[in-house]
Amino acid sequence: MTFPELIGINKKIVLASKSPRRKKLLENLGFELEIINSNYKEEKVDNHKDYPQYVIFNAEQKGLSVQKKISDDCIIISADTIVVLNDEILHKPKDTEEAFLILKKLSGNTHQVYTGICLIDNKTQKIIKDYKQTNVSFRELEDNEIWQYINTGSPMDKAGAYGIQDDFGAIFVNKIEGCYYNIVGLPLELLYNMLKKMNTI
């Protein structure tokens, strides 16, 4: 039995994201996806009083922007992930120098990863929104380790300038409190329960 069959989802799934990591996670669960990238540009802020509200709002706006493009009977999945250290949102680095500064900030510290998820049933117009938080602790990083990682190119398209799913990025992390897949960008346990709820309301 596939994951979609387990929760009784027989509609097409549209992923409102160009993230290869989210795409791979959903495909590994057995979903056949249509990818439609959102054109919503979230406001870039360095701090926010309510991080759960911030990621949920961005996820919903991404989903709504894709909904305007399609008329199919489907479920739209959209998400937004941020990395927060000491009340500062660490965005994707603009260049290698900024990537280095971000990773130096994370070195030896504990930060938070928030992911908001929004599900939209394009036929019934039902919307479900929620979020997940994970605490991530980095060991002390050496400068040469940081530059070697940056030279792989991997940090440049990721919030917080690292990917825990990378072999190199993973060795920076010495402790996780919460959902691992939330750090990757799509908390699967949360998504599972949201899809079950979507199928029963």
Which of helix, strand or coil describes residue 105? helix
In 3D, which of 35, 39, 133 has the Cα closest to residue 82? 133
Q: For residue 45, give the 3-state DSSP assignment.
A: coil
Q: Is 95 a catalytic residue?
A: no
Comparing CA positions, the residue from 71, 72, 54 lying closest to residue 11 is 72
Q: Catalytic one among 46, 50, 73, 80?
A: 80
* CA atoms of 66 and 192, how far apart (whole Å): 21
**173: which strand partners?**
138
Contact 78, 29 (CB under 8 A): no
Alpha helices by DSSP H, listed for the chain, are 3-6, 20-28, 51-67, 96-106, 143-150, 167-170, 180-184, 188-198
Place of tokens 């360095």: 46
State how far the Cα of 117 lies from the Cα of 6, in Å rounded to an integer: 20
Catalytic residues: 80
